[in-house]
Structure 1
């Protein structure tokens, strides 16, 4: 495990100073004409769980750029909650793109980062060669409907206990965390019996101020300022080649993934057979192959 200071001083690191004066951390891994910028999930998590993309893609000649958004672990973490707004994050990505000199590049967004990627593509797709939407759906309503469907499958005693703790706003209770881990996270976030250190660190380093402001402090009741986000009707405007990528045991509905792929005009759908929300870890070969095939086919104008 690298300390934050070691991360700051690692090879390939480039800091980007935003127009609000705060700095965000980026790191280039590998080299090549294909550039891929990563957007981690959360909101408020870190790039760490995506570090496996280096092993997947750098040997293929792809330059992978990790990036912690403002508020996330390696970047500045201001306490001003007014910064945690969708439009500001999208403007931030464009500032990062400009500072890194990226043009005709691939944008990879996972989870909430996929939401960011959709918004970025709708506003700035002229800069994109390709788009990878990992484990995201077309609206917050679609997400909450499916994750609550998964919740309804829980044993009644578990569901009753979780409801009781939620009603008491006792979500920091160790029992609640244990129930989430056993009955949600280990089934739909990552199905490995022992989570990789990179994924555990992402959870450990989550900025709860960002997460709570934008999503809420409850996995199942969305109360943050992203409530009401819906881009189903605009997805067809995204003309860039797009990979819709998720796991069959994901926190987003497979049917939603199929719908997204049917709407996006130049898209491909891959559902990792054994994967969850973090299929890059629990179904790595299928995930890697999906990425490699997509990049090769876009480069060869097959998509």
Structure 2
């Protein structure tokens, strides 16, 4: 069973959950979400069950309280400090979407913390033409419309068949959303706009696997390929592109987690 914990420092509180019992440390940084991903810890644990005997896994939330101007770089600093507080180092790091942005920033600034890195459906910078979806989410959050936010979120990140399967569930979850969660979501989403590590990607020294999606309706497929291009002169870095699974291929592609596992386990 996943254990829930909290990291307290002088500057912030950050929730996490922990599961598995392997000698290696696996850290998951999830993407942008309306509510804390820790609420889905059992589902996350079940989806990564195959890694349990080789990895002890930590799933980190964003810090508890955020304020206007909180940046991706701040998120990276806070997450890195949380990892240090827990004594984690040489971690196998996976960041999805916004979590991938945070993961890149950590690998660049805190190379001693990261042994291998997987980046899923993410971007080193978000161009103005890629901000349309995120801007709409911010607008809905500021309008305090969780139902429409969840519905639009589902439509954009999942393939049509998956969205249709879960759209009633999204309505049910939306009814549990609190005003403070919408305010936090808007702040976290705004942070994506000013993020840009395009010219620093070469500073990442650990092996990297970039996993993108051709039908990514949120950040588009070019974002993943641009990251891979910055690393294409290295034999320890690779790119894999899915098609038909949507932005959230990390949830929908059946072999996604095995692909991460195989990369981590490869010498």
1:212 aligns with 2:186: yes
Q: Distance in 2 between matches of 1:170 and 1:82?
A: 17
Task: Give the alignment's TM-score, normalised by structure 2.
Answer: 0.77
Q: Which consecutive residues of structure 1, in runs of 5 or more, have no partner in the other structure? A: 1-9, 72-77, 152-161, 216-223
- 1:92 paired residue number: 78
> Match for residue 145 of structure 1?
129
Q: Which runs of 5+ in 2 are unaligned?
A: none
Specify whether residues 17 and 235 from structure 1 end up closer, same or farther in structure 2 by C-alpha distance, changes over 3 A only: same
Taking structure 1 as the reference length, what is the TM-score of the superposition?
A: 0.69
Cα gap change, 1:28/1:248 in structure 2, threshold over 3 Å: closer, same or farther?
same
Q: Is residue 108 of structure 2 the alignment partner of residue 122 of structure 1? A: yes
Tell me which structure has the larger Cα radius of gyration: 1
Query: In the superposition, relative to structure 1, how do residues 58 and 213 fare at CA in structure 2: closer, same or farther (>3 Å)?
Result: same
8 Å contact kept, 1:109–1:133: yes
Residue 6 of structure 1 is matched in structure 2 by: none
Equivalent residue, structure 1, for 2:199 = 233
SS in 1 for 2:104: helix
Q: Mapping of 1:253-264 within 5 angstroms?
A: 253-264=220-231
- Provide, for residues 32-81 of structure 1, a one-character-per-residue CA deviation record: whole Å limited to 9, x for no partner: 1221111122166432567436433434522111222213xxxxxx4x62
Alignment of 1:180 onto 2:155: no
In the alignment, does 2:60 pair up with 1:67? Answer: yes
* 8 Å Cα contact 1:38-1:67 kept in structure 2: yes
After superposition, the CA RMSD in angstroms is: 3.6
Aligned length: 252
In structure 2, do the counterparts of structure 1 residues 202 and 135 end up closer, same or farther at CA, with 3 Å as the change threshold?
farther
Give 1:177 shift: 4.9
